[in-house]
Amino acid sequence: MSDDERLLRRAIALSEEAARAGCEPFGAVVARADGTILGEGFNRSRLTHDPTSHGETEAIRDACARLGTLDLAGCTVFTSCEPCALCVAVMQITRITRVVYAAALADSAAVLGRPPGAMAALRAEAGLPVGQGRISASQSLRAEAVGVLERVAAAGGVGVKPA
């Protein structure tokens, strides 16, 4: 059995664990190229009332916490189902290099009785500038917020404590 199959089977096992816990049946693993598991997770949204608690985000949070970094470049996410727009965004933010998935979004929609195309619509809207989708937006107090950014930059960037 290849590492990809082994790690994907672990993600599927985590999806079963999620279902037993009364959660959405989605699980994921973050691994190095050598097959070392760095993080695991399953969808806990219903348990925690956290809409961002998807299998992939939980596995990424676990890996980042264990490694003490937000940079997962060179790592792969193995997931029981094709990732949604939220999970893809988190993968991009953390520089995940690759994703391997089992079920397609269309499979989960059909089996779980979700509207067909809902995830495709979410993906399309998530890529739009804020305010150009179904959620309205307005901007205010720009100068004050930019001032904070400028002070952080002048102090040497994020993580630098002011004197």
Catalytic residue numbers read 56
Query: CB of 43 within 8 A of CB of 18?
Result: yes
Query: CB of 72 within 8 A of CB of 94?
Result: yes
CA gap 30, 61 in Å, rounded? 10
CA 108, 114, 117, 118 dihedral sign is negative
CA gap 70, 152 in Å, rounded? 19
DSSP state of 83: -
CA gap 59, 106 in Å, rounded? 22
Q: For residue 59, give both structure tokens.
A: 């596995």
